[in-house]
């Protein structure tokens, strides 16, 4: 099959490079620094010490002689509308579109643009950062999950083309529950962005952890009200994570040792967005959860608060940096809307 990575950034370039290591036929639609980066050899590493190197890759400037069998749509949620409009020139009648966005609503937006195409959802659990000008580093664990298609052969092929020591992949016939489970983990992204510190340092602070636990508890309440049972996508079942996050620091450092086994410099994509003066995916995370809660009469005041705090930074973010929100200040803001957490 011919694969096209559309909107090649950190995740798209990493996925495409792993496919190339597996001898797949891969092309990219990229621009700016990513177009330049992909035109030269690229090094891949992960937090476990696995390594790989790919040669300069095929970046498409214009039309392709053969339209791709699979398009991997790797833009952020905030760029979905413009990406879908541009994507019409790259999609054939039989092209499968694979959505790699965060949140729980991106797939429906893509499906509105391409109602006759097979659109599959993918959950990408790990973090990729630039460790050097030509060096992509996967800094956290997690197994990529692809939605099970009507054609098992297709799904198996997609899983196989991604499976590599640098990337673990599988499939699921209940991708909606998988995405909700991933959303639970993503709720820490906004806390990290507002804290303006690495994820590891954030998790070592009990005040920040208790805020994240409150966010997650609201999601779990909404999921139960919707009759959803969330699969395990981390080392701990989702229902136990808030309890572990609330533990005192000394106990947490022992019980959650694997949770802290991440690169000490890793920050979330939402942090990168705020620091690069870009719109964040807050509405696809916190906003989507608040709306989902309203549908089943479950209020989510902490998620609404985080959404509002991030929105305020987006409005005011006209300088090179912004004022971080200290842990105890954030904790007290949450207590004002939630009470005891």
pLDDT digit string, tens, across residues 60-82: 977 677 899 999 999 999 899 99
Query: Which pLDDT does position 228 carry in this prediction?
Result: 94
Residue 318: per-residue pLDDT: 65
**What is the percentage of the chain residues whose pLDDT exceeds 90?**
73
For the segment(s) 179-338, the CATH number from 1.10.1040.10, 1.10.10.10, 3.60.15.10, 3.20.20.70 is 1.10.1040.10
> Residue 40's CB: how many other CB atoms inside 10 A?
11
User: 337 pLDDT exceeds 70?
Assistant: yes
**Would you say residue 104 has pLDDT above 80?**
yes
Q: Is pLDDT at 247 greater than 70 in this prediction?
A: yes
Question: Which of the following CATH numbers is that of domain 2-173: 3.40.50.720, 3.30.70.2740, 2.120.10.30, 3.40.50.11540?
Answer: 3.40.50.720
Which comes out higher in pLDDT, residue 254 or 332? 332
What is the pLDDT confidence band of residue 257, given thresholds at 50, 70 and 90? confident
SS (H, E, C) the chain: CEEEEECCCHHHHHHHHHHHHCCCEEEEECCHHHHHHHCCCEEEEECCCCEEEECCCEECCCCCCCCCCEEEECCCHHHHHHHHHHHHHHCCCCCEEEECCCCCCHHHHHHHHCCCCCEEEEECCCCEEEEECCEEEECCCCEEEEECCCCHHHHHHHHHHHCECCEEEEEECCHHHHHHHHHHHHCHHHHHHHHCCCHHHHHCCHHHHHHHHHHHHHHHHHHHHCCCCCCCCCCCCCCCHHHHHCCCHHHHHHHCCCCCCCCCCCCCHHHHHHHCCCCCCHHHHHHHHHHHHHHCCCCCHHHHHHHHHHHHHHHHCCCCCCCCCCHHHHHHHHHHHHCCC
pLDDT at 235 over 90: no
273-299 average pLDDT score: 94
The answer, yes or no, to whether residue 173 has pLDDT greater than 90, is: yes
Res 319: pLDDT: 56
Strands 2-6, 25-29: parallel, antiparallel or unpaired by DSSP? parallel
Confidence of residue 339 (pLDDT cuts 50, 70, 90): confident
Least confident of 15-29, 57-71, 149-163: 57-71
Q: What is the pLDDT of residues 177-216, one digit of tens each?
A: 999 999 999 999 999 999 999 999 999 999 999 999 999 9
Extents of the domains making up the chain: 2-173, 179-338
Q: Note the pTM of the prediction, 2 decimals.
A: 0.89
């Amino acid at each position: 099959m011919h694969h096209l990575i559309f909107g090649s950034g950190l995740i798209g370039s990493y996925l495409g490079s792993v496919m190339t290591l597996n001898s797949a036929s891969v092309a990219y639609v990229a621009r700016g620094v990513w177009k330049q980066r992909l035109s030269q050899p690229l090094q891949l590493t992960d937090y476990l010490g696995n390594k790989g190197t790919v040669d300069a890759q095929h970046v498409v400037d214009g039309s392709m002689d053969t339209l791709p069998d699979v398009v991997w749509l790797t833009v952020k949620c905030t760029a979905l509308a413009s990406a879908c409009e541009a994507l019409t020139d790259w999609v054939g009648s039989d092209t499968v579109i694979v959505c790699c966005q965060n949140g729980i609503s991106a797939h429906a937006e893509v499906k509105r643009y391409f109602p006759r195409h097979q659109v599959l959802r993918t959950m990408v659990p790990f973090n990729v950062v630039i460790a050097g000008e030509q060096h992509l580093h996967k800094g956290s664990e997690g197994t990529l999950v692809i939605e099970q298609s009507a054609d098992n052969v297709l799904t198996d092929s997609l899983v196989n083309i991604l499976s590599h020591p640098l990337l673990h992949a599988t499939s699921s016939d209940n991708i909606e529950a998988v995405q909700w489970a991933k959303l639970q983990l993503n709720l820490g992204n906004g806390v990290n962005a507002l804290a303006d510190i690495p994820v590891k340092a954030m998790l070592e602070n009990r005040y920040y952890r208790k805020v994240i636990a409150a966010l997650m508890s609201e999601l779990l309440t909404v999921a139960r009200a919707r009759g959803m049972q969330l699969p395990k996508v981390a080392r701990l079942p989702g229902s136990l994570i808030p309890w572990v996050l609330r533990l005192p620091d000394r106990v947490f450092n022992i019980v959650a040792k694997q949770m802290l086994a991440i690169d000490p410099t890793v920050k979330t994509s939402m942090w990168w967005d705020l620091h690069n003066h870009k719109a964040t995916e807050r509405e696809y995370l916190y906003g989507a959860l608040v709306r989902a809660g309203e549908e089943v009469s479950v209020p989510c005041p902490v998620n609404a608060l985080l959404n509002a705090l991030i929105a305020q930074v987006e409005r005011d973010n006209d300088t090179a940096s912004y004022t971080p929100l200290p842990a105890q200040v954030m904790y007290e803001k949450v207590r004002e809307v939630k009470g005891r957490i």
